[in-house]
Chains A and B, each alone.
Chain A
Amino acid sequence: MNRNAMQKIVTPVLAIIVFLALWEFWVWYMGWPTYKMAAPSDLWPAFWKFRELFAINAWQTLWRTVVGLGLAVVIGTILGMIMGLSRLMNDALYPLLVGFNAVPKATVVPVVALIFIGQHDFNTVLVAFMISFFPITVSVAIGLSTLEPEYRDILRSLGASKFTVFWKIALPKTLPEFFGALKVAVTLAFIGTNLVEIVAPHGRGLGSLFDSGRIASNYPLMFAVLIALALLGIALYYIVVALERIFAGWAERRPT
């Protein structure tokens, strides 16, 4: 048990240290200046220098991602319910959704930016939503439509309403699939937010900070942003994991 815990903490930390050391060595060996490539040791000063910008922009990126994801959860779940409970709606909407999902969102950004010109917050949230609702819809729809008839029958045979069956059985039963999709969706929403911040620069969010680093050939700043993005992404992901433990922890098989 103790050995296990040590292994779980020490080995990844070691791996990270080795990775950073190789990176540092490589940049030093090639003799690259900071306008060509950044070494790990350059990142902290860059971060510290722009720490206020980091804080402001990280917040911008974070709240837009969370709002976009929240929209994706609400609308994705409603769409999934409609498709999962009605064969007709499933047949009608499925091809449309697949097509919608297949469109690369980078091409949507300029369209959205043109339609809602100047509405930066709205645009960003919209793209974060559009890129992330699909997996949620599909997982909820599949979870509901594959419910074994016996599960329905045990309550229906007692005269329970459709809503009761949904609330007591169908909904909790789809939670593991829902959280699986949410883990994918949270990363996608994050990508969506940054996409808008980089492609349609409006001077807000970590994406725009990255872009200003790019324009100035400031590699330490760009890499510092990347690492900040990675940390933010990890934090969001593990928040979802924590929620999953709380609401769908029962689905986890305990080692026996």
Chain B
Amino acid sequence: MTNLIEIEGVSHAYQTASGPLPVLDGLTLSVPEGRFCAVVGPSGCGKSTLTRLIAGLMFPDRGEVRLNGEVVRSPRKSVGMAFQNPVLLEWRTILNNVILPLEIVAPRMPRSQREDRARELLALVGLEGFEDKRPSELSGGMRQRASLCRSLVHKPDILILDEPFGALDAFTREDLWQLMHRLRAEEPFTALLITHDLRESVYLADQVVVLSGRPARTQFVLDLDLPGPRPIEMLYTTQSVEWLAQLRAQIEIAQGRSDTGGHAR
């Protein structure tokens, strides 16, 4: 299996009024094609910076980000993004919101073909019949489903998910977790999920990466060898509890490092 996402020794600092603020420090990470990678870590440890580096929206001070073996030097059409905020355009219907990336990526694709593709995805996430509604008429969970459709509509190789389930209530969140597994079965993609929720990482990912506190580097990688479908009950197996405990312990260490790491606040 080839590595679709390769991040090698990436360091990055933001320029602030009180001098440079390093957020990533020699981060190394690779995600093989088709795998689902979850990245967890203390808050403010540079996880969102990581997503922007992969999307080609910014570039690291040092190190390399490679997608499909190519160094990322600009944004690329083969990336789909979804955020905690669904950022749907209020003036467009749900259908037209989902179509949006196709208008950029495939401007020559006929309108009917775009619509068919969007409808197909909307049906897959259970939003059939809501195509002509406005985002404001949908619940938070439904909006997030539409946002996921938008991130997948142009068949991206890489799906970047920046805490997309973070603002949802617990049951809606679990619904959407299960939906992610269904989507993966229908629409193969390689995913990088940023999350604060260890259960979410264990339920969804094939590989969980724990980042250390700021400036972040890879502290721990857990490979979850679990082929086949995952019922939500898998979270209550001894194996999962063991994984969760292991990850929790790593988070403690990560937070410890950030406390004693010498950044006086």
**Chain A residues engaging chain B, CB cutoff 8 angstroms:** 148, 150-151, 153-160, 164, 168-169, 172-173, 175, 248, 250-251, 253-254
Contact = CB atoms under 8 A, between A and B. Distances in A.
Leading 7 A-B pairs by shortest Cβ distance: A157-B55, A250-B91, A158-B104, A150-B87, A159-B75, A160-B104, A150-B83
A251 B105 CA distance: 28
Interface residues on B, range: 20 to 34
A253 B91 CA distance: 12
B150 A154 contact: yes
Given A164-B104, A168-B100, A172-B89, A154 B81 contact: yes
A176 B162 CA distance: 29
Which of A155, A157, A164 has the most chain B CB within a 10 Å cutoff?
A157
A31 B77 CA distance: 81
Contacts of B150: 154
Given A154-B81, A154-B150, A159 B89 contact: no
B74 interface: yes
Contacts of A168: 100, 103
B79 A158 contact: yes
B77 A159 contact: yes
Contacts of B91: 172-173, 175, 248, 250-251
Given A158-B104, A160-B104, A169 B89 contact: yes
Contacts of A154: 81, 87, 100-101, 150
A154 B160 CA distance: 11
Contacts of B56: 157
A153 B104 contact: no
Contacts of B57: 153, 156-157
Given A154-B100, A157-B55, A160-B104, A250 B134 contact: yes
Contacts of A254: 136-137
A164 B134 CA distance: 22
A248 B81 CA distance: 27
B136 to A, nearest CB: 7
Nearest to B102: A158
Contacts of A164: 104
A150 B136 CA distance: 18
Given A160-B104, A251-B91, 16 more contacts: A148-B85, A153-B81, A154-B101, A154-B150, A155-B100, A155-B104, A157-B55, A157-B75, A157-B81, A158-B105, A159-B77, A168-B103, A172-B89, A172-B91, A173-B89, A173-B90
Contacts of B134: 250
B155 interface: no
A158 B77 contact: yes
Main secondary structure, interface of A, reads: helix
B149 to A, nearest CB: 13
A255 to B, nearest CB: 12
A169 B101 CA distance: 12
Interface in B90-143: 90-91, 100-101, 103-105, 134, 136-137
A105 to B, nearest CB: 35
B136 A153 contact: no
Interface string B55-96: 111000000000000000011110101010101011100000
B154 interface: yes
15 contacts: A148-B87, A150-B83, A150-B85, A150-B87, A153-B52, A154-B101, A154-B150, A155-B100, A157-B57, A158-B79, A159-B104, A164-B104, A173-B91, A250-B91, A251-B90
B213 to A, nearest CB: 24
A168 B56 CA distance: 21
A151 to B, nearest CB: 5
A149 to B, nearest CB: 9
A168 B134 CA distance: 17
Contacts of A159: 74-77, 104
A153 B100 CA distance: 13
A58 to B, nearest CB: 36
Contacts of A248: 91
A156 B75 contact: yes
Contact of A158 (B75, B89, B90, B137): B75
Contacts of A160: 104
